[in-house]
Structure formats: structure tokens, C-alpha cells
Amino acid sequence: MNQGSDHSVGPRPQVAIVGGGPAGLIAADLLSGKCEVHLYEQGRMVGRKFLVAGDGGLNITNRASGEDLFAQFTPRNFMQPLLEAFGPAELRAWLGGMGVETFVGSSGRVFPVRGIKPAEVLAAIRHRLDERGVNIHHGHTFVGFDEQALPIVEHANGRTTVKAEAVLFALGGASWPKTGSTGAWREHFEAIGVRTVPFTASNCGLEVDLPVNVRPHEGKALKNIMVSSGDRSVRGEATITGHGLEGNAIYPVVPAIREALVSGGPAYLTIDLKPDLSFEQMEFRLRDAAWKERLAALKLDRQAVALYKAFTPLERSLDGRWLAYDIKNLRIPVRALRPVAEAISTVGGISLDEVGPDLALLKHPRFFVAGEMLDTDAPTGGYLLQAAFSMGSRVAMAMLNKLTGRDRD
């Protein structure tokens, strides 16, 4: 492409997609049958963040449905219609149509069947786009808007103004910056009158002042625990780190911790170290145990014992009468969230007040936004990718309706 060059509009409507992540990829596929699609990606390949998400196993979505599904997303009233239109079943069917079969794991998480690697899933999607004639322009970085509020992309030969009948921006948030998601695009949207919200970390570790006795257990997991904060309780495991705690039992309660920290009040985690035992069952086990064997009677591992001792006042632990209660209600103060650059995902980005139900910008109706650009939140467990794919699907349908006039029917 030469500086200032433009693709002429052919018999089919021309649409542009800026960003080659999950939202952009599915939108490109769904639009390709009826539109001339140009996808602009700043890197040398699409889907880099998709591959990062696949480290350790590509958790594509979750088998949750109905209330169990909708409750995972914030704000629910914004996300629920998108999930109803394109939820986990539809996503699995879309992947199945490309030969990517999936299965439900014991936790309800959905993965490609064993033997299919994340890179192979991405290759299948890319092959579909190639077959359908999607034009992918690598090395094209979004750098802002011109005087007419048209998007500009920078590439090896200079800069190009993107002219299309509709444009989807799927530029990502600010997590995993090594994949290109820096969130630098916020200033460009502010320049055309679109309000954005500063990015903050989500699905991240928590900073906890760990006493000396816990430090030797850094890297060890607290397995099968229940973590609570606010009105959210999650079973899973947490890992003791050099800065505090992280893990799949921690990430879902981050929104409650973040809200408490922003309000200026104290932020706490409450951990049940033995969620499979009732208070009465624990009292029964402790009844005949010798004083020095009381913790052993509850079968707590060493890292759990260390955490209990670290956050229970000495006088209280010596008293003994509160042991069962404290094991099931261990209160841990949280000092801060880990930095955005370490987070699995972010909240912030385009304010939801700036978009309509079709994810078009109210001030620029030909521009659509999707994915982590939007100020939404969800926990890990397949929900983050599901949100991106649901948004991309919604935008594709909305674009087609707008371009064909069906949105005026």
C-alpha cells in the first residue's frame, strides 16, 4: 500500500476492521460473505493475544448458560443481549464449522479437544478468512484520526486514511502490552469527542503484606479454598507470591476489592481454608485432639497453617476456642491491585454511555467498537474470550443491517 492509497469500493460494501484479535477475527468471518473486508493488524500476525491466552491450555468459553452465564459479566444489562444472541453454544458451533471440536472440562471450562493446540485453532480461523477473501494488512498500526475523523493507519510505506462504509475498532485494552495492547488509542478517541475511562487492572494478583513466616511458601498453592469479598464467593485455589496472592479463586473477587480500594475504605479477603467441612464437623474433629495436634487434625497443609498464623492475632490463636471459626473466616487485608501490565485483563476504555446497543459510537455511527476496548468486566474461566467473540458477532450483524438498510425497517 502506498501512502495515501485507498481501496476502491467494489460491488459489495467495503468494511474495515482495525485489530486482529478475537472480536475482529469473528467479525471478519461473518462479514466476508456479503462485504469486502479489510482487516488492519499492527503486528506480523493476527491473534497474538489469543495465543497468549492459550498458554497452558486454550480456555475458549464456559458451558454456563442462563443466569449462571449472565451473572459473570459486568455490567450484566449491557452484556446479556450479546450473550443471548451469540453465547457458548454458538461459539462452539462456529469453531466446529472450521474443524475445531471442543469439549467441556470438569470445571465447566471449554477447551479444544486434546491434541489441538492454540496455534492450530488460530490457523483454522486464518484459513477460513483466507478462503473467504478477507484482506489482511499486517504491519498497519492505528495512529489516530484525520480532520474529517477518518482513521489513519501507519505502515512501512507511510500513512493511509482508511475509507470504508463502516469500521470496527477492536484495539484491545491495556493488558498484555507485549502483544501490542497498550491502550494508547484512548487519546485518539478522546480527540474526536468519545469519552473514555482510564484503564485499571482486572483478573490480577493482589498485593498483601505477608509476614516473614509466609515467605518460605512463595510459589505454593492454597488448594480447594473459598475466597470471598463483597457479595462474591469463589472456590478454587490461590498461589502465594512475592507480592501477595493470585490465582483462579482470587481473580473473580478483584472487582469487589477494586471498588473498596477506590472508595478509600479498607479492602479485605475472607478465606475459608476448609470449605468442605462445616463448622460443626470441624468442632467434632477438634474435640479429642491434643493441643499441639489441633491443626493437624484438620489436615491443613503447611502453607495454609502459615497463612492462618500470619493473620490471626496470637492471643486469639492461643485461646483455641476460635480455631474452627477462624480457619473458615480468615480475614486478610489487601493493600493494592497488581499493575495493569501484569493483569490478565483490564476494565476501562470506551465508556458504555458512548455506544448504542449495536456497539456503534453514538457520535460516529459508522464506527463500531468491540472487545476489551469497552468498559466491561468478566472473570477468567472462558468468559473473557466469550465476551470478545459475542461482541464481534454483534457488530458484524449490526454492520450488515446498517449497510443493507435493514436497521431502518
Classify domain 14-201+340-408 by CATH architecture: 3-Layer(bba) Sandwich (3.50)
What pLDDT, on the 0 to 100 scale, is given for residue 3?
A: 39
What residues does 361 pair with on adjacent strands?
Answer: 355, 364
The reported pTM is 0.90
**Cα–Cα distance between 204 and 246 in angstroms, integer?**
7
Q: Is 149 helix (H, G, I), strand (E, B) or coil?
A: coil
**Cα–Cα distance between 15 and 28 in angstroms, integer?**
9
Mean pLDDT, residues 183-211 taken together: 96
Half-sphere exposure of 183 (CA within 13 A, CB side): 23
Residue of 19, 389, 26, 300 whose CA lies nearest to 183: 19
Summarised one tens digit per residue, pLDDT across range 297-355 is: 888 899 999 999 999 998 888 877 889 999 999 999 999 999 999 999 999 999 999 99
Q: Out of 22-36, 94-108, 155-169, 292-306, which region has the weakest mean confidence (pLDDT)?
A: 292-306
What is the pLDDT confidence band of residue 49, given thresholds at 50, 70 and 90?
A: confident
Q: Is 162 helix (H, G, I), strand (E, B) or coil?
A: coil
Q: Between these two residues, 264 and 178, which has the higher pLDDT value?
A: 264
Mean pLDDT, residues 103-114 taken together: 93
What pLDDT, on the 0 to 100 scale, is given for residue 2?
A: 38
What pLDDT, on the 0 to 100 scale, is given for residue 52?
A: 80
What pLDDT, on the 0 to 100 scale, is given for residue 4?
A: 41
Find all residues with CB under 8 Å of 9, minimum gap 6, and list them: 36, 165
What pLDDT, on the 0 to 100 scale, is given for residue 179?
A: 78
- What are the cell numbers at 401? 443491517
Q: Is 305 helix (H, G, I), strand (E, B) or coil?
A: helix
Q: Where in the chain is the domain with CATH 3.50.50.60?
A: 14-201+340-408
Q: Is the pLDDT of residue 193 over 50?
A: yes
Summarised one tens digit per residue, pLDDT across range 214-233 is: 999 999 999 999 999 998 99
**Cα–Cα distance between 406 and 95 in angstroms, integer?**
28
Q: Is the pLDDT of residue 53 over 80?
A: no
Q: Out of 233-247, 306-320, 346-360, 391-405, which region has the weakest mean confidence (pLDDT)?
A: 306-320
Contacts of 399-403 with C-beta under 8 Å, sequence gap 24+, read: 399/15, 399/27, 399/31, 399/35, 399/166, 399/168, 399/368, 400/30, 400/31, 400/34, 400/35, 401/358, 402/166, 402/358, 402/360, 402/365, 403/13, 403/15, 403/35, 403/165, 403/166
Residue of 127, 74, 83, 36 whose CA lies nearest to 388: 83
**Cα–Cα distance between 41 and 334 in angstroms, integer?**
39
Phi then psi for residue 330, to 5 deg, are -75, 115
Mean pLDDT, residues 38-62 taken together: 88
Q: Is the pLDDT of residue 409 over 80?
A: no
What pLDDT, on the 0 to 100 scale, is given for residue 330?
A: 97
Would you give the distance in Å from CA 358 to the centre of its chain?
Answer: 21
pLDDT, mean over the chain: 92
What pLDDT, on the 0 to 100 scale, is given for residue 399?
A: 97
Find all residues with CB under 8 Å of 318, minimum gap 6, and list them: none
- Distances in whole angstroms, Cα of residue 378 to Cα of each of 83, 206, 344: 13, 17, 11
What pLDDT, on the 0 to 100 scale, is given for residue 407?
A: 61
The DSSP secondary-structure symbol of 9 reads P
